[in-house]
Amino acid sequence: MWALSWLVACSDVQRIGSTDADSAFTAVPASAPTLTSEPASSAPWTCEPGTDPVQVAGVTTYGDLQSALDAVPDDNEKIVVCPGHYFGPFVAFASVTLESRDGPEVTVLDGGGYGSTLSLVWGAYVTGFTITGGAAATGGGVVLEELGSGAYFKDCNIEGNVAEEGGGVWIGPNWYVLFASTSISGNTAVRGGGLYMLDGADVDLTEYSDITANVAEESGGGVYAWADNWLYGGPITENSTLSRDELQGGGGVFLRGTAELMATTITNNASFRGGGIRIDDPFLGGPFGVAMNFVVLTGNVAVDPLMGDGQGGAAYLAASAPPLGTIDSVTVNSTVVLESNTADSGGGVYVKDGPTLASIGADWGDTDVDNAPDDVATETISYVGYGSPATFTCGAGACDPPP
């Protein structure tokens, strides 16, 4: 699952002044590879009016960004971009360090509605841009297509992009991508409004990075993840899905295979099935497991005001195509908090079609922060008042022990 030795960097204007890049790497699990340090900044550059606005390797200048990307002779060259609004789309054919001189507030890469705004290969660093205006089948804002590589974004706003998959960012198999002080917000897609992760892709949202206010027509308002994925950090907040299809959902996150969520806050998301998370296996076949550690699920909503059949405020667990779709287990450990979530049924979690939910000392809220109308619901019974800490198992339509 950890398949890389190099990364990419971009930046949210609101995060300028965050800690240095080295601190961003401290959250990487011990099993992850050792990462190289961020390249040093280039010498001051004047960007005087009337001069070429893009510089490569501290020497050669170009009149437009794509010409500079085309001209990069070797991997690991640095491209520095003056303030301005640059219309693409842009494609890097080599590993580059792409750096704005004055940050995302004044340096915009705009896809102009003609494809992915920025397409990258392995080992890219992207720092200090607003990435917007992309429209593509995969990766409206950013697309990372090569197999088994890595990228590092620092101080970026990835916003206002659209795609069928991955409105903000589309990540291919076996990538490790670190977002430091970066916001993925206000993007739309059919699946994965903010982020779309294929098999084995791992994402680290560190240094106050967030996935906020993205929308998916079908599944994964914030994040859509296939299988063997690892997701760290956040928050993932105020994302939503639009479909009322029984097979869709996951306002914050849609997981369709083995995954681990770590140190993540999933809050104030909304969907018909799984306001915070939908965990499902409609096509891949199981069994698989999902584990959550140091995760907070709060304020998520699965309510249908017309039909009254929204299910799974914090999470909805299902196997959409039995017997192929088989969830072996979903484990919420003692470091997990599920509180103040709301649904028509299963305010905390709705368990459907036989997946096993194991709560090992998790906090299910109480009194003023309880889930409504219940903590757990199956297709035949609901449970209220598990509180904290709560250890129980749900499967085959019932939970044991009851509250």
Whether the pLDDT of residue 155 is over 50: the answer is yes
Whether the CB-CB separation of 253 and 225 falls below 8 Å is answered with yes
pLDDT mean over 148-163: 94
Question: Can you point out the beta strands (E) in 68-214?
Answer: 77-81, 84-87, 90-91, 96-100, 107-110, 118-120, 124-127, 130-132, 135-138, 142-144, 150-154, 157-159, 162-165, 169-171, 176-180, 183-185, 188-191, 195-197, 202-206, 210-212
Collect all residues with Cβ–Cβ distance below 8 Å to 48 and sequence separation of at least 6: none
Q: What average pLDDT does the chain have?
A: 86
C-alpha count within 13 angstroms, C-beta hemisphere, residue 68: 27
> Token pair of 365, please?
């809220």
Per-position b or e across 180-211, b if 16+ CB within 10 A of its CB = bbbbbbbbbbbbbbbbbbbbbbbbbbbbbbbb
pTM for the predicted model, two decimal places: 0.87
pLDDT, tens digit (0-9, with 9 covering 90-100), for 228-244: 999 999 999 999 999 98
> What residue type is assigned to position 209 of the chain?
S
Whether the CB-CB separation of 195 and 224 falls below 8 Å is answered with yes
> Token pair of 159, please?
């916003």
The model's confidence at residue 292, banded by pLDDT at 50, 70 and 90, is: very high
Whether the pLDDT of residue 142 is over 60: the answer is yes
Nearest one of 286, 266, 284 to 349, comparing CA atoms:
266
Whether the pLDDT of residue 40 is over 70: the answer is no
The torsion region of residue 367 among left (phi > 0), alpha (psi -120 to 50) and beta comes to left
Q: How far apart are CA 387 and CA 365, in angstroms?
A: 5
All structural domains of the chain with their residue ranges: 1-37+76-222, 235-403
End-to-end CA distance of the chain: 38
pLDDT mean over 250-266: 94
Element (H, E) at 338: strand 337-339
pLDDT at 169: 98
Whether the CB-CB separation of 126 and 78 falls below 8 Å is answered with no
pLDDT, tens digit (0-9, with 9 covering 90-100), for 343-385: 999 999 999 876 789 999 999 998 878 999 999 999 899 999 9
Q: How far from the centroid of its chain's Cα atoms is residue 141's Cα?
A: 13
Q: How far apart are CA 187 and CA 205, in angstroms?
A: 17
Nearest one of 260, 253, 248 to 336, comparing CA atoms:
260
Question: Considering only 30-34, 64-68, 266-270, which range has the smallest mean pLDDT?
Answer: 30-34
pLDDT at 58: 83
> Token pair of 180, please?
């430091």
pLDDT mean over 239-252: 93
